[in-house]
Amino acid sequence: MLQDIGPGRFVNHFSFQTAADEDFALVYQNDSVLASVIDGMLRIPKVREVRELIPTLSYRYCFTIDQDRYFFADADSEGIEKDSDKALSFVPSREYRNMGPMDAVFACCVGESLHRWHRNNQFCGRCGTLMEYSTAEQAIVCPQCGLTVYPKICPAVIVAVCDGDRLLLTKYRGRAFKRYALVAGFHEIGETIEDTVHREVLEETGLHVKNLRFYKSQPWVLTDTLLMGFYCELDGSDTVTIQEDELSVAEWFHRSELPDNHSGISLTGEMIERFRALGPEQCLSQL
Ligand SMILES: [Zn+2]
């Protein structure tokens, strides 16, 4: 999955640090990152290289992978000359997320989420003052009224609804993503995450479920989301009534006939493949 960068170890304990020339620079402009691409492989530049290209950027510490420190910077208002030597250019998110190596892609995706958070919180939502980075934690603080804004993380569920050897697959309406998926939806304030599972399945498909089994979570940083994956059992009628403004398709597939055109980096894809490989008993047993 997207976050599986082993053997590299991702450490995001925050401490205030200053960027040095040999650190990695995650520099964003809108939804693109500054990088070079060689044979489908993404290369993140060092701070030194970016300083030669855009000397005015200020850097914020993000995280470490193994011994390598990563800093991010906003270049939304910066123009760059084409860098012919190193071929650095702004690579759109929708392109680099399908490249390799996985540690570089994951680093760019996490940095992209931090960039979005910063870009969307430049001014205090309470008093309008220009916000500043905290030196104590990964937060943005208003120097006037003290409002503290943390990185945006939205909890959501991915739900594999099982009925014996059948699994319910969906397709979402009106999105670029046209492949099969599982029922999914965002947590709403005031409910438990188990309530979210029941509500989303009922809203999207008209089905009732029971015997919820948490499987795994995934930081889906591309949309600032923390996904929590559940397997569960159909409870009652198997007749699907789709929520037409959300879904275009919701169909039962026998385990032996599950399509494989789902995303390879997603929790959804892993959960479908796990149901295919292990079947309902193991997926619905306690982990
Ligand atoms: Zn304020």
Report CA(287)–ligand 1 centroid distance (Å).
45
- CA of 115 from ligand 1 middle (Å) equals 20
Average pLDDT estimate for 141-145: 98
Q: Do domains 10-120 and 154-283 have the same CATH topology?
A: yes
pLDDT of residue 134: 95
What is the CB-side half-sphere exposure of residue 185 using CA atoms within 13 A?
22
- Rounded to the nearest whole angstrom, what is the distance from the C-alpha of residue 131 to the centroid of ligand 1? 8
pLDDT at 87 over 90: no
- Please give the model's pTM, rounded to 2 decimal places: 0.87
Q: What pLDDT does residue 83 have?
A: 56
% of residues, the chain, pLDDT over 90 = 73
pLDDT at 76 over 90: no
**CA gap 237, 209 in Å, rounded:** 10
Q: pLDDT category, 262, cuts 50, 70, 90?
A: low
Looking at residue 81, its pLDDT comes to: 59
d(CA 124, ligand 1 centre) in Å:
5
Mean pLDDT on 145-163: 97
Q: Is domain 154-283 classified as CATH 3.40.50.300?
A: no
pLDDT for 6 equals 78
How many Å is the maximal CA-CA distance in the chain? 64
Name the amino acid, one letter, at 158.
I
pLDDT score recorded for residue 130: 97
> When comparing pLDDT for 86 and 265, which is higher?
265
What stretch of H or E contains 112? helix 102-119
Ion ligand 1 nearby residues (CB, 5 A): 124, 126-127, 129, 142, 144-145, 147
Name residue, tokens 């929590």. 228
Question: Domain residues of the chain, as ranges?
Answer: 10-120, 123-152, 154-283
Q: What is the CATH number of domain 10-120?
A: 3.90.79
Q: Give the pLDDT mean for 235-262.
A: 88
In the predicted model, is pLDDT for residue 194 greater than 90? yes
pLDDT in tens, 41-58: 999 999 999 998 889 899
